[in-house]
Amino acid sequence: MTKRYDLAIRNARILDGSGADSFTGDVGVSADRIVAVGDLGGSSADREIDAKGLAVAPGFIDAHTHDDGAVLHGADCMHCKLSQGVTSVVIGNCGISLAPATMKKRPPPPLDLVGTESAWAFPTFADYAEQLRRTPPATNAYALVGHMSLRVVAMDHDVQRAATDKEAAQMQQRLTDSLDQGASGLSSGLWYPPSRHAPTSEVIAVAEGLRSRGGLYVTHMRDEADGVIDSIEETLKIGRDSGSAVVISHHKCTNPENFGRSTETLALIDRAAQAQTVDFDVYPYAASSTALLPDRLRDDMAVQISSSEPYPDMKGRMLADIAKEWGVDQVTAAHRLLPAAAIYFMMDEADVQRIIAHPRSMIGSDGLPSNDMPHPRLWGTFPRVLGHYSRDLRLLSLEQAVHKMTGLTAKVFGMVDRGAIRPGAYADLVLFDPETVIDTATFTAPIQPARGITEVWVNGVSSYIGGQGVTGAANGRLITRNKA
Ligand code: ZN
Ligand code: CU
């Protein structure tokens, strides 16, 4: 009996996502699944691709995003991700999730990064999940519930204090309800003003809701600078006390006095990992990006404005230049630009490389799709790891690089049948040229699709074609954590 496939990709270099050595072979797809891997022989397919010279990998999983709004608005809004080979995104990070929350007024920064008042229209997670069913996302979405979102609602914007026991209990209840409705974990952003006054005990009280549901605790830690070690200890404690696996978001050591300390942080994480589950993600740049927070500025830190509501034309300009032009200091200039977002040049490239090379790190973009002049990570993260760090700098093998974007991420987040090329797995696939793949987005021209991504499939449907753009398909789904 000769098999017939919907799609046959032949003669490709197959990177199966496990980190194992690649091999040359064929991949057969029927409907939304991979059904055969190896030599498809004389079988036929509705669509045949001769992929000689190209590599095929599981579609990349973006371990850290703020695409809560973007996934609701069609394929064009996900062009930045599909063009990198991304087929699944983890949303609701840094304590910021669109659901479950409604806002009567503009939420405080950084919650406004995912939308102003009108975007916050999901009183329950079930409402958000229903919206994803009605208007499917162009990539799969895996959702976390943000502690900051829960906090601002439970405390009615009065957040410059610890939550009362009653408020923490309400947050925990809304978390468990959300987990029952398709969310997969809790995220926090304890560095940010709306969450800074949350003591560890409050976070543990909320995270306690993860225990019975097998949810994940993911955190933008309280401090990534001088207090980075204490913050890792706090994260580990929250994980232990709530019985949950933890993920440290966008791991970094910030400010010049902390450059080089990733040797300490990675050693601490490795030691802790012998006793509890702890993982982390990283983006491949030495600059961060978030809301513009005037009281966090330093004279020795270069800052580029990525959007400003009152001064949209200032996007892309350095804060120091704007301040000089206005004849004021940087803090005064920053206050005038609010609400605004910015890029902060405050990391050491050696730390970035050490963290990327560490076997436990996953790749996440942390891109901010709402910014007018976004950090280049929004369009460049995955091809930059493949082309710049793996191929050009040889920091890690192509197999390892792909593993950090696929199999490892699927395992950490508990995504079933994702991040792997094997019979039975979902047909989330990326076909790319390992010789040419590279990011083209820069700090001065950040909205640029990468080179070398040939085609991308989401659940078996062609969703992006290199040189042409998105196909318009929106074939993603809400995916949930395997609680096993
Ligand atoms: Zn963050
Ligand atoms: Cu983030």
Q: Is 411 left (phi over 0), alpha (psi -120 to 50) or beta?
A: alpha
CATH 3.20.20.140 location in the chain? 59-292+343-415
Query: How many angstroms separate the alpha carbon of residue 243 from the centre of ligand 2?
Result: 23
Q: Is the dihedral of CA 414, 415, 417, 421 positive or negative?
A: negative
**pLDDT value at 168 more than 90:** yes
93-124 pLDDT tens trace = 999 999 999 999 999 999 999 999 999 999 99
Q: How far apart are CA 248 and CA 18, in angstroms?
A: 22
**pLDDT value at 1 more than 90:** no
Torsion on CA atoms 321, 326, 331, 335, rounded to nearest 10: -120
Could you say which of 3.40.630.40, 3.40.50.360, 3.40.190.150, 3.30.1490.130 is the CATH number of the domain covering 293-342? Answer: 3.30.1490.130
Residues around the ion ligand 1 (C-beta < 5 A) = 94, 220
Determine the average pLDDT of the residues in 177-198: 98
CATH 3.30.1490.130 location in the chain? 293-342
88 strand-pairing partners: 61, 140
CATH 3.40.50.1220 fits domain 59-292+343-415 = no
Q: How far apart are CA 344 and CA 256, in angstroms?
A: 13
Site of tokens 């608005």? 73
Banded model confidence at residue 394, pLDDT cuts 50, 70, 90: very high
Query: How many angstroms separate the alpha carbon of residue 470 from the centre of ligand 1?
Result: 28
Q: Which ligand is nearest to the CA of 192?
A: 1
Report the percentage of the chain scoring pLDDT > 70: 99
Query: How many angstroms separate the alpha carbon of residue 385 from the centre of ligand 2?
Result: 18
Determine the average pLDDT of the residues in 44-50: 97
Per-residue DSSP letter, 192: S
10 strand-pairing partners: 50
Query: How many angstroms separate the alpha carbon of residue 186 from the centre of ligand 1?
Result: 13
